[in-house]
Amino acid sequence: MADLYGIIGCPVGHSMSPDIHNRSFKDQKLDAVYHRFHVEKDQLGAAVNGIRALGIKGVNVTIPHKENVIAYLDHVDKTAAEMGAVNTIVNLDGVLTGYNTDGPGYLESIKPFLTSPLSEMKCLIIGAGGAARGIYTALAHAQTGRIDVANRTKEKALAIIQEYDAAVPGRTLSLEEAECHLAEYHLVIQTTSIGMSPNINDQPISLENISEGTLVSDIIYNPIKTAFIKDAEQRGCRVIPGVGMFIYQAALSFRHWTGKMPDIQLMESVVLEKLGGK
């Protein structure tokens, strides 16, 4: 019987994780299958118990469960614990261990676009959810020059900075304050779900004050270019769509489950084919 893998989230119907993982299983000649599992917030504990009961070998975790799922796991990797969020679960004989590949995947995706060391860059993270925590921690490990976090609720942004005891300068901002200070940053990272299909015209903040040449990144990959990315392009910014992060975090999850690194170019081609992009 094929090994079973999947993704849990709410919503989860839009996820292309089954497409890339099932194609990668086939490419690696592994007898495995990957499914979507829609899990409401109040059913998360039951779903995690179901992973054990059904012998599901591995699971990705997406919005809104990345932080809350930790309470139901047996072990959490040190990096995921620092991030305060899990996006990958490995089931080894009923023992569930959580990992986070968001931050490392994000760093891999932006490397080709960096024209100066991260240690010399001022970065702004928009949002304070699980993905923001992962990216913040990865940037802190990479000794980024400055990392500010902007969120609708400043207290949640502050929690990210306080919970990770890093010797990296940073402050918390409201979204309105972030809009005013955009010209200060070399890298702006959009980590919320605002602008995701089908709400493709939405943006988390205005980019009116951003400087030309700023590196602007959005972790959303559907659509390939969000309204946020299109707006940044029109203002003369260099842009990084979310496909790269999606692919690299998925590849690192695949390696946690199977011990094998999948074909990155194959994964990218699957995503672009599904989205009708290039």
Q: Fill in the amino acid letter for 132.
A: A
pLDDT at residue number 164:
73
Active-site residue, from 26, 57, 66, 78: 66
pLDDT at residue number 130:
78
pLDDT at residue number 134:
86
Kindly tell me if the per-residue pLDDT of 269 is higher than 80: yes
Six-digit token pair at 159? Answer: 């929690």
> Stretch 28-43: mean pLDDT, rounded?
97
- Check if 225 is active-site: no
List the 75-76 sheet strands across, edge first: 32-38, 3-9, 58-61, 88-92, 95-99, 75-76
Between CA 254 and CA 256 the distance in angstroms is 5
Determine if residue 253 is labeled as part of a ligand binding site: no
Determine if residue 226 is labeled as part of a ligand binding site: no
Name the more confident of 102 and 56: 56
Kindly report the average pLDDT of the chain as a whole number: 94
List the 187-190 sheet strands across, edge first: 172-173, 146-150, 122-126, 187-190, 215-218, 238-240
Kindly tell me if the per-residue pLDDT of 129 is higher than 90: no
- The answer to whether the Cα torsion of 89, 188, 239, 109 is positive or negative is negative
> Stretch 85-104: mean pLDDT, rounded?
95
pLDDT at residue number 278:
55
> Stretch 192-207: mean pLDDT, rounded?
92
Kindly tell me if the per-residue pLDDT of 95 is higher than 60: yes
Q: Report helix, strand or coil for 100.
A: coil
Confidence of residue 201 (pLDDT cuts 50, 70, 90): very high
Compute the radius of gyration of the chain from its Cα atoms: 18
How many CA atoms lie within 13 Å of 135's alpha carbon, on the beta-carbon side? 30
Between CA 217 and CA 215 the distance in angstroms is 7
> Stretch 10-24: mean pLDDT, rounded?
93
Determine if residue 249 is labeled as part of a ligand binding site: yes
Confidence of residue 166 (pLDDT cuts 50, 70, 90): low
> For the CA atoms of 72, 243, 245, 259, what is the dihedral angle to 10 degrees?
70
